[in-house]
Structure 1
Amino acid sequence: MRQGPMVVVLAAGSGVRFAGGRGERGHKLEQAFGRSTVLDTTLSNAIQSRLPVLVVTTETLYAQVTATIAARDVVVLPAAGGEDSGGLLGMGYSIAAGVTARSNASGWLVLPGDMPLVQPATLRAVAAAMPHHPVVYAQHRGRRGHPVAFGAELYSELARLSGDEGARRLVARYPAHGVEVPDGGVLLDVDTEQDLQRMRALYPAPAGAAAVG
């Protein structure tokens, strides 16, 4: 029996563009943001959507993730570049790991862990459109963003993803529907320290993230 759609938060990347990865500043997902961190804020928004949440991460961030998410809802991958990774890690590999861990879902909303401004209402809006389209994505002022959601009919192709390509080819191959939202956070991720500073300026109060626009 299939369950409803679920949010798959991707938190297994090395973050190499942020101060050289895990340098003196640490991983980008561990950086302070509001009252917590970048990743904690992303997870909090995902939980507030009231959709089931699964997190794909590495041992490095496991303790941080399981402070918020139950261990049964966490998939741990080898660290990127580690001896156990086999050179396979990347966004595509993470998506496949999350999808196969919840193969009975009716669909999967893929949300990068470095997007702490994506609002719960946005996740719900994308999920609401999923029964009618194989691929759904959030967009703001006509610009495509995240999350990107995939219906259960694409399971076999999602499960075969690997490397860094992610699911771009699936978005290109199948009819994709954009859900217009007033949430500019769908376009903003933390790639560099400059990105982080800009996003902190858009975060108006430590009580919670607000839509940007």
Structure 2
Amino acid sequence: MTGIILLAAGSGTRFIAAGGEGNKLNAALSKTAENPVTVFETTLNQLIASGMPVHVVTRSENLQVQASCARKEVPFTLTDSAGTGESIAAGVRDTPEWDGWLIHLADMPFVPAEVFTAVASNLQQALVVRPFWQNQPGHPVGFARPMREGLLQLRGDHGARELIRSYEILRLDLNNPAVIADIDLPEQLRDSPLI
């Protein structure tokens, strides 16, 4: 079984430095909607729509993300992670029954469900699978079971970048800019296409 680890433990310092208020994952993405949906909830809904199991890694102080997970009955791991490396390792550690992991970032709410299923289905052919758009590497990044020990050793803020360099990547060239679109700045909340 392949599942998705959703990384939601970042501090969003660029967002706050640019004038954003609070954690960007809890910011409303669709302000025009009657019931505004946050960046995190939008991303989580896309993952759930894929039909794959989801496990969230977040910070102990982010009660809003934890509440969203509880409402959707999605398990989560709490971490005071110093970077994406530790977050990935924590998520992989807490999903020992999986035989493949898709690593996705919670501030990338526009990636549709079919991208997750495409990456997962290609894990049978390669140890690492990654979507690209116009030669730019995107997310989610898929890792097959033999990569587990390497994922568990990750530290720091480079995530799996160093680990990926040691392996040949199966590249999925997708005609979808969503695989590289994230929310880093407050104005991106206003300019983003609504799902």
Q: What is the match of residue 23 of structure 2? A: 27
The verdict on how the C-alpha distance between 1:65 and 1:119 changes in structure 2, with shifts beyond 3 A counting, is farther
Asked whether the equivalents of residues 119 and 183 of structure 1 are also in contact (C-alpha less than 8 Å), the reply is no
1:99-145: CA deviations, max 9, x gaps? 11112211100000000001101101101101110000111233210
Q: What is the match of residue 143 of structure 1? A: 136
2:13 counterpart letter in structure 1: V
| 2:11 paired with 1:18 | no
Q: What is the match of residue 121 of structure 1? A: 114
Show structure 2 runs of 5+ residues with no match. 31-35
How far has the Cα of 1:63 moved from its partner? 3.9
How far has the Cα of 1:196 moved from its partner? 3.1
1:4-44: CA deviations, max 9, x gaps? 110000000111111239x8711110111123010000000
Q: What is the match of residue 50 of structure 1? A: 51
The verdict on how the C-alpha distance between 1:144 and 1:24 changes in structure 2, with shifts beyond 3 A counting, is closer
Whole-Å separation in 2 of the counterparts to 1:8 and 1:156: 16
Asked whether the equivalents of residues 122 and 183 of structure 1 are also in contact (C-alpha less than 8 Å), the reply is no
| 2:156 paired with 1:153 | no
CA RMSD of aligned residues (A): 1.8
Percent of counterpart pairs with the same letter? 34
How far has the Cα of 1:190 moved from its partner? 1.2
User: Which residue, 90, 95, 109 being the options, matches 2:88?
Assistant: 95
TM-score of the pair, normalised by structure 2: 0.89
TM-score of the pair, normalised by structure 1: 0.82
2:98 counterpart letter in structure 1: A
Q: What is the match of residue 70 of structure 1? A: 73
Secondary structure of 1:9's aligned partner: strand
1:52-110: CA deviations, max 9, x gaps? 00000012224433334426x100112x5xxxxxxxx2000000000111122111000
Asked whether the equivalents of residues 62 and 76 of structure 1 are also in contact (C-alpha less than 8 Å), the reply is no
Count of residue pairs brought into register by the alignment: 188
Secondary structure of 2:124's aligned partner: helix
The verdict on how the C-alpha distance between 1:165 and 1:26 changes in structure 2, with shifts beyond 3 A counting, is same
Show structure 1 runs of 5+ residues with no match. 81-88, 204-208
User: Which residue, 161, 184, 192 being the options, matches 1:168?
Assistant: 161
